[in-house]
């Protein structure tokens, strides 16, 4: 029996999206076993800042582990997966197309050991950052509408109708604006 072809990829997978799914599916097609290195919460904070991750490492781990394309998930605390790559010594190392082959951490190690490095094309616009920015933008628009209603008539609107009514009215204005814009 031949040794199974081990494929490795890694990432934060903070807010799982269609681009992640495509990467994992294509990575799995390249071998017999897909191992995913998952940045821990602390690792993500080092890379992306104190407000990240949005989704905890425990939840991200469970989501990845339950995808049929993924055979194994390994958390790592370092800013990069080099230690894991050297430990696993995969036959194929896969990253998204936003990485140049000379930028892929562990590529040298994999190729020196007879393996290959593959980049998977990105899906245009599919990114956790884009999702976060879209949510943030819509939330800010909602808050702007809420503040406008709460300050209507010098604040008397809230005094007379209460905050709950102001929030409901702001939500109505927000969704009416979205409908008009086609969001």
Topology of 6-123 in CATH? Rossmann fold (3.40.50)
Q: Is 164 exposed, middle or buried (0-12, 13-18, 19+ CB in 10 A)?
A: exposed
Active site residues: 48, 50
What is the reported pLDDT for 77? Answer: 96
Q: Yes or no: say if 70 and 34 are a contact pair by the CB < 8 Å rule.
A: yes
The answer on pLDDT for 111 being more than 70 is yes
Query: If you ran DSSP here, which 8-state letter would residue 38 be given?
Result: E
What is the reported pLDDT for 151? Answer: 65
The answer on pLDDT for 160 being more than 70 is no
- Domain residue ranges in the chain: 6-123, 129-181
CA angle 104, 107, 111 (to 5 degrees): 160
* pLDDT tens-digit map of 56-89: 999 999 999 999 999 999 999 999 999 999 999 9
Query: 126 pLDDT band (50/70/90 cuts)?
Result: confident
Task: Give the mean pLDDT of 46-50.
Answer: 91
> Which residues does residue 95 pair with via DSSP β-bridges, in sequence order?
119
pTM of the model: 0.77
Query: 172 pLDDT band (50/70/90 cuts)?
Result: confident
Taking alpha carbons only, the member of 59, 68, 80 closest to residue 27 is: 68
Task: Give the mean pLDDT of 29-39.
Answer: 98
The answer on pLDDT for 50 being more than 80 is yes
**Cis amide prior to 53 (ω within 30 degrees):** yes
164 — phi, psi (to 5°)?
Answer: -55, -45
The answer on pLDDT for 155 being more than 60 is no
| pLDDT > 70 fraction of the chain, expressed in percent and rounded | 84
Could you tell me which residue, 6 or 176, shows the higher pLDDT? 6
Q: Which residues contact 56 (CB under 8 A, 6 or more apart)?
A: 41
Copy the structure tokens of residue 37.
């290195």
């Amino acid at each position: 029996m031949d040794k199974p072809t081990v494929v490795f990829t890694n990432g934060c997978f903070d807010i799982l999206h269609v681009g992640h799914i495509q990467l994992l599916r294509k990575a799995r097609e390249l071998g017999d076993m897909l191992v995913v290195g998952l940045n821990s919460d602390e690792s993500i904070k080092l890379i992306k800042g104190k407000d990240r991750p949005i989704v905890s490492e425990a939840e991200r781990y469970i989501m990845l582990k339950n995808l049929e394309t993924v055979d194994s998930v390994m958390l790592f605390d370092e800013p990069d997966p080099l230690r894991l790559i050297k430990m696993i010594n995969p036959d194929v190392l896969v990253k998204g197309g936003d990485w140049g082959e000379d930028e892929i951490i562990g590529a040298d190690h994999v190729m020196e050991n007879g393996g290959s490095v593959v980049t998977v094309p990105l899906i245009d616009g599919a990114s956790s950052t884009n999702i976060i920015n879209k949510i943030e933008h819509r939330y800010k628009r909602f808050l702007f509408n809420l503040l406008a209603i709460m300050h209507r008539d010098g604040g008397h609107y809230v005094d007379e109708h209460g905050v709950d009514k102001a929030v409901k009215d702001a939500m109505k204005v927000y969704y009416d604006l979205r409908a008009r814009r086609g969001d």
